[in-house]
Amino acid sequence: MQIEAVHGDITLERVDAIVNAANSSLLGGGGVDGAIHAAAGPELLEACRELRRTRYPDGLPVGDAVATPGFRLPASWVIHTVGPNRHRGETSGSMLASCFATSLAVAVEIGAHSIAFPAVSAGVYGWEMAEVARTAVRVAFGWRAGTEDLWVEGQTHGHGIDLVRFVLFSEEARRTFQAAIDEHERAA
């Protein structure tokens, strides 16, 4: 499995699935969430409304993930995950790790072989970019090694993922993620 970090716009990624740093309402918002909803078109909002009506009447829990079609996006799927918000006292590193691990598990369930992640919980949710990078990269390397079940109870390793790409909004963020990747590769 290839793990890489790039500077770019996640809504333009030609991968099987992109991850949306969603809020628990699943009804759109700012930042990555707003950009994905805008690019996917109104069908994404309708799919999310249906999820709220049927599976998540109280909203998607922090650390969980769920998939919808990508609609007008190049990616076939959008995997929505809700990161912990430090400003609300959600400071659990395991909840942050769960966002990445459950998204990978959902990707395997839907048959995705490539997945692109943003820096979930960085920015307006108050997590430091370096901490998000270390957590995300640790989960990706754990997934590749078959130890991701430490993060997602009841899930087994899915060998179907060929590419994990972290798509970052700035070059500085990309460098931070690349440093975390380099650190893991040196340790391997």
- Tens of pLDDT, residue by residue over 15-59, are 999 999 999 999 998 899 999 999 999 999 999 999 999 999 999
Instruction: Name the active-site residue from 33, 64, 162, 182.
Output: 33
For 146, half-sphere exposure in the C-beta direction (CA atoms, 13 angstrom radius) is 1
- Tens of pLDDT, residue by residue over 69-82, are 999 999 999 999 99
In this predicted structure, what is the pLDDT of residue 77?
98
Non-local (6+) Cβ contacts of 38 within 8 A are 11
Backbone Cα Rg of the chain = 15
Q: Helices 171-187 & 129-145, crossing angle to 10 degrees?
A: 40
Identify the sign of the CA torsion 117, 119, 124, 126.
positive
Non-local (6+) Cβ contacts of 36 within 8 A are 10, 11, 18, 20, 44, 73, 78
- Tens of pLDDT, residue by residue over 79-133, are 999 999 999 999 999 999 999 999 999 999 999 999 999 999 998 899 999 999 9
In this predicted structure, what is the pLDDT of residue 152?
47
Q: Are 56 and 66 in contact (CB under 8 A)?
A: yes
Whether 162 sits among the annotated catalytic residues: the reply is: no
- Tens of pLDDT, residue by residue over 128-175, are 999 999 999 999 999 888 765 544 444 445 568 999 999 999 999 999
In this predicted structure, what is the pLDDT of residue 71?
98
**Domains of the chain, each with CATH number or no CATH:** 2-187 (3.40.220.10)
